[in-house]
Structure 1
């Protein structure tokens, strides 16, 4: 009898281990429930494995696991961990409290949590909107003696980073006696997400072992943090690091292409494109779209179009990237033709698509087509215009000198116009020397953002062009009184033979020209070759 019981138990355990569907699981569950020769402990041990299957397997059912869980009279730590893990991993509602409810119930049942419990509870805390529960769970970590467990500490770093508490995350990291690569990656990612780029760089330099997650994080973080040149340097450093186990993946390539796009470094972009072809890496939709975006922002519209045409089954992001490439290079009519092709292909445009299309109309002076696009967006595709669409439309009207229509559109906006809307109108006033309206708009912008130096500079420019020099002195005196200075200098980047050179101007375009001449004279032997220059960023 005993041999038969053990044999049946082992058989059912084997079947559970190799179970592939809920249908099989339910059959096994029925055998476990009806087998008369099982001891109670045998039955609940096998049922705990049923719960584990339902919560871990892709073909499992969380609702079935929950039903079985409620019927278990004496729940174990293994069962609670399985359920907490399932709810923490599968529920995406930030207001859900089920993992915390289970954790509290486990404590009420007198079961002590372990190093498996806390990472999943902390993961759930990181997904919550309020961010108030995490520190309480941290206190429990210390209470139960798991504050030195590397997996729990990694979860704490991720928790505090999620809510912007970089100091707390760094404190946990610095107190760790045993760190793994996940620990380093977690704190670096936390710093990058919270704009602590220098701290992330300092930690990155201290790492002895880096994996692809490390490199992708630092490259992507510096691109998104506005330091694309350094991101490119990280990429090339990665290439010569000598680590055969680390090689660029699709995320690396997409981020590097974004850096090239930001710098206007088309030679670097071509090299990355060639590297992509040489490596045999699949040029999927994401990479191809990044290539289109890069070539478009670097001014190589024909190359962007070549990549776009080679893409199969283009999605809305790909079409939008190509539209944007036409837009920023002033190819308004080509953008419109592409939009019509997009409609013919049956791809539904989104709000970003219309932003690109309206921008193309603005840069090309296509006023009537811009009005048509604005109507089509609302009436044909039922996309309610957002503030960025109104800004584009005001830009179109302002460039055309249609100030009455522009003011009427602003007046009837369903949302509050922001500085970009008013800024677009101000740009039109400066273009057409409408000093009266320009003064009114500039002063309104100053009232909106009294510490923004750009609006004072624009107002000075308007007064200077109107030859109202007394008012220029008045505004400059006001800036001096409020200690408002131009904190971000104009800067340019020039790429010569794959070398990106950056220089800035502080206060005078003459200084900029001097620096340009210095760079060009030092490259006199090579300046005849191909180079590209990004636009000056004011």
Structure 2
């Protein structure tokens, strides 16, 4: 009697200790204490405390060892698992990584044991279905929701919208959203993110404009979605609209800034990028590795190498992505020595380069014409870091060898590839043929690529450039006629952008009226006649080649 009378205070003490634990080791120590105290605790109290211990262990889903420990505890509970125990394990394993128990198997076991699920069970089951992209099981769970009467629970409905949208069933998500009796901001955001993930950007924008309430997640979703879809200019417009609202409850955070910097990077909008960088400092937003890396990329693409270096040096922490971004900046600007010096510095800081890092280094060698250095880098990647070259690495090496007019070596490397060469590898060789006017190899490679993708306009245009450079203008006309007959044309019209006074202006062939297009062609014809009349005869063929190339690309 006396031992069981002390069980309540001991149970309370153990529960408080569990709540204060911050490591698996501490939980294991408490577990040992529970085993020792089991006779005095009694069966029911022991089961209750172990279930609480299980929950604490399962609450760290990023730790594989904690999840494994929770799974062991679950299997060895002295009593049948309760709803609380099932929900804890389902939740912990729903994230999809380091799963030691399948949430769907747990749910099936739960039903077989006669344990009735509650409103906390299903959101994590739908999360797991989203992770494994299993809409069939998700739809079966939807039936269970209706059967159990949870179909009006907004938390469950939001998780179902997320599941349907993630699995690509945006119409199902939309129908569910329409019949929801109560919608909160999470409901609206889930639907918005669903449209963006499914690539329905115009529908997403219309939906966004119809939202009465928006929070920072709403704005971040629409801005990031448009940036990732290549509509960076509209993303910047949305960001400016966000700032104009002057809503104290909706202020840009580091996620917003990171996306906007990426938009500036893709547009080459240096002035706007500088303004966003200044806004980051003014608002005292956290300068983390994600934003730092985005700024390095932006300044590098806008040609401000010094600014990129300044950002890099001021970063409090640098991961492999930050180091690689800075190496890539050096690479695209032909600063190979600086790129390799940074690699040495990276190694001294014990940061392991990855396959992207070596891709950047090989690009640096290609842009600087350092063939021997490139071959050394390619070999070191395999020998020192055990990184197996991917197709993109072979493409860089072919580009490097091709720029140096080493066509035999480039083709030998392609033949040695352990995987099938893709269009990027062959495209690098084709680009080198255009650079050096190698008609023989260029025709062979172009015909091979055209056989792989007959509708790709880029292969025909490159081949026509090679023929024009070789003064084979009859072949150029035949290629153009063939493209017109087969309806082969650019799917995305060419465009260029320029930043003037902080405003990005876009010039696109798509928006050029037919009359103006004819006028441009007339001007080209006039220039051609003028050049041929005024320049010496020995330059005529080169001028003619350039004229044909310009006219061909213009149309």
Counterpart in 1 of 2:69? 63
Matches of 2:191 and 2:452, distance apart in 1: 37
Counterpart in 2 of 1:450? 454
Is the counterpart of residue 170 in structure 1 residue 169 in structure 2? Answer: no
Root-mean-square deviation (CA), in Å?
3.2
Query: Deviations for 1:132-178, whole angstroms, at most 9, x for unmatched residues?
Result: 42222222222222222211111112212222222222222222221
Matches within 5 A, 1:111-126: 111-126=115-130
Counterpart in 2 of 1:294? 298
SS in 2 for 1:486: coil
Counterpart in 2 of 1:86? 92
Q: Which has the higher helix share?
A: 2
Shift in CA distance, 6/143, structure 1 to aligned 2, threshold 3 Å: farther
Runs of 4+ in 1 over 6 A off after TM superposition: 4-7, 57-61, 507-510
Shift of 1:436: 1.7
Q: Is the 8 A contact 2:335 2:368 kept in 1?
A: yes
Matches of 2:290 and 2:93, distance apart in 1: 31
Counterpart in 2 of 1:195? 199
Matches within 5 A, 1:172-251: 172-251=176-255
Matches of 1:45 and 1:263, distance apart in 2: 59
Matches within 5 A, 1:516-531: none
Matches of 1:219 and 1:48, distance apart in 2: 43
Query: Deviations for 1:249-293, whole angstroms, at most 9, x for unmatched residues?
Result: 222221111111101111111111111111122322222222111
Q: Is the 8 A contact 1:12 1:28 kept in 2?
A: no
Query: Deviations for 1:100-121, whole angstroms, at most 9, x for unmatched residues?
Result: 2221122122333221111121
Matches within 5 A, 1:366-515: 366-506=370-510
Matches within 5 A, 1:348-359: 348-359=352-363
Shift in CA distance, 425/53, structure 1 to aligned 2, threshold 3 Å: closer
Counterpart in 2 of 1:110? 114
Shift in CA distance, 361/190, structure 1 to aligned 2, threshold 3 Å: same
Query: Deviations for 1:202-238, whole angstroms, at most 9, x for unmatched residues?
Result: 2211222222222222121111110111111222222
Is the counterpart of residue 269 in structure 1 residue 273 in structure 2? Answer: yes
Shift in CA distance, 511/85, structure 1 to aligned 2, threshold 3 Å: same
SS in 2 for 1:461: helix
Q: Is the 8 A contact 1:16 1:28 kept in 2?
A: no
Q: Which moved more, 1:286-295 or 1:331-340?
A: 331-340
SS in 2 for 1:444: helix
Q: Which moved more, 1:427-436 or 1:465-474?
A: 465-474
Matches of 1:196 and 1:50, distance apart in 2: 45
Counterpart in 1 of 2:15? 16
Matches of 1:161 and 1:212, distance apart in 2: 21
Shift of 1:6: 8.7
SS in 1 for 2:246: coil
- TM-score w.r.t. the length of structure 2 is 0.83
SS in 1 for 2:497: strand
Q: Is the 8 A contact 2:70 2:89 kept in 1?
A: no
- Listed as ranges, the gaps of 5+ residues in structure 1 are 515-535
SS in 1 for 2:466: helix
Q: Is the 8 A contact 1:50 1:65 kept in 2?
A: no
Shift in CA distance, 170/507, structure 1 to aligned 2, threshold 3 Å: closer
Q: Is the 8 A contact 1:51 1:69 kept in 2?
A: no
Shift in CA distance, 349/537, structure 1 to aligned 2, threshold 3 Å: farther
Matches of 1:366 and 1:61, distance apart in 2: 50
Matches of 2:196 and 2:55, distance apart in 1: 36
- TM-score w.r.t. the length of structure 1 is 0.85
SS in 2 for 1:208: coil
Query: Deviations for 1:398-456, whole angstroms, at most 9, x for unmatched residues?
Result: 11111111111111111211111111111111111111211111111111111211112
* Paired positions, count: 511
Shift in CA distance, 469/312, structure 1 to aligned 2, threshold 3 Å: same
Matches of 2:51 and 2:350, distance apart in 1: 50
Q: Is the 8 A contact 1:491 1:537 kept in 2?
A: no
Q: Which moved more, 1:466-475 or 1:421-430?
A: 466-475
SS in 1 for 2:495: strand
Matches of 1:234 and 1:256, distance apart in 2: 10
Q: Is the 8 A contact 2:93 2:101 kept in 1?
A: no
- Listed as ranges, the gaps of 5+ residues in structure 2 are 22-26, 521-552
Query: Deviations for 1:11-39, whole angstroms, at most 9, x for unmatched residues?
Result: 73475256323234654576565346x9x
